[in-house]
Structure 1
Amino acid sequence: MLALLTATLGVWAGFAPLSFYEHGPLPFPDTGWVAMLPPYNEHLVRDYGFMNLGMTVVFVAAAIRLTPALVRTSTAALFVFAVPHTVFHSFHLHHLSAAEAATQTISIVVPTVVLPAVVFLMASGLKQAEIKA
């Protein structure tokens, strides 16, 4: 799930940065939230996309190897980005309606903080032998 999320964002922002800026960050529906915090910077959007593709590689490796250490490391790496990103957006909601603010907050917190936290905690409770069994 985390690999799918980062791959989707990565391909879109990395290869179609203006589209991501104008219509993103959710592919469905067309939110345009990124464009609400201008200005557009192609370099920055592409870097964000390719950073997400880099994280995709890490998540795929963690899913294939399925070692507790790699799963925890991959989710911890996402937290380094996701927590400050979530805090930033929590303080920059003035340009959104109440419904958009709630939707944006949920769409950031659930896939990038809650889901990885659950995966991290699950991996922390497992021993290597339990995963490979």
Structure 2
Amino acid sequence: MQPIQPRWIQAILLYLIISNAIPGCWALFMPESFYTSFPGFGRTWVSVDGPYNEHLIRDVGAFFLAVTTLCCLTLIVPRLVTAQATASCLLVFNIPHLLYHLRHLHMLPWIDQVGNVVALSLAVLLPILLMIYSASVQKSRQSVLF
């Protein structure tokens, strides 16, 4: 029997799938475009930080797609991969990623600074919500057993 996830957990996982799949596909399959144009809409967040490196950009794209796969498995087969395990993996990447960008905001115009901080903070806060929820569910299951 599959554990039933609340709709808000499913919504967070769906957001994390989309927010990782888009840059993942873009970076892996169109690395130069990703470098010069991410996040799109006339903004540039990657090229301001140094010279183009196709290998690095493609590796980042593949990483984002690996995380997308993890989030998909958590959403579709929650017994196989727990939300807590997924949140842990996301936080290992997203916390240092946020900290790096917080130290390098000066390279961006103010509107991109705001967008960068909001997007990357969500990438930390949402997995923390998954961790808190998963820990409370696990605790309540243990109290039922004992």
- Tell me if both proteins adopt one fold, taking TM over 0.5 as the criterion: yes
TM-score computed with the length of structure 2 as normaliser: 0.78
> Where in structure 2 are there 5+ consecutive unaligned residues?
1-14, 142-146
Alpha-carbon contact 1:68-1:126 (below 8 Å) kept: no
Tell me the secondary structure at the aligned position of residue 43 of structure 2: coil
- Map of 2:137 onto structure 1: 126
Counterpart check, 1:22 vs 2:33: no
Q: How many residues align structurally?
A: 127
Alpha-carbon contact 1:68-1:123 (below 8 Å) kept: no
Q: Larger radius of gyration, structure 1 or 2? A: 2
- Map of 1:92 onto structure 2: 104
Select the residue among 77, 98, 119 that pairs with 1:107: 119
Cα deviation for residue 68 of structure 1 reads: 9.4
Counterpart check, 1:4 vs 2:15: no
Greater CA deviation, 68-77 or 36-45? Answer: 68-77
Greater CA deviation, 57-66 or 95-104? Answer: 95-104
Letter in 2 for 1:4: I
1:32 and 1:90, CA in 2 relative to 1: closer, same or farther beyond 3 A? same
Letter in 1 for 2:136: G
Deviating above 3 A after TM superposition, structure 1's stretches of 4 or more consecutive aligned residues are: none
Cα deviation for residue 124 of structure 1 reads: 1.9
For the residues of structure 2 that align with 1:120 and 1:46, how far apart are their CA atoms? 29
Counterpart check, 1:51 vs 2:63: yes
Tell me the secondary structure at the aligned position of residue 125 of structure 1: helix
Counterpart check, 1:117 vs 2:128: yes
Tell me the secondary structure at the aligned position of residue 44 of structure 2: coil
Identity %: 29
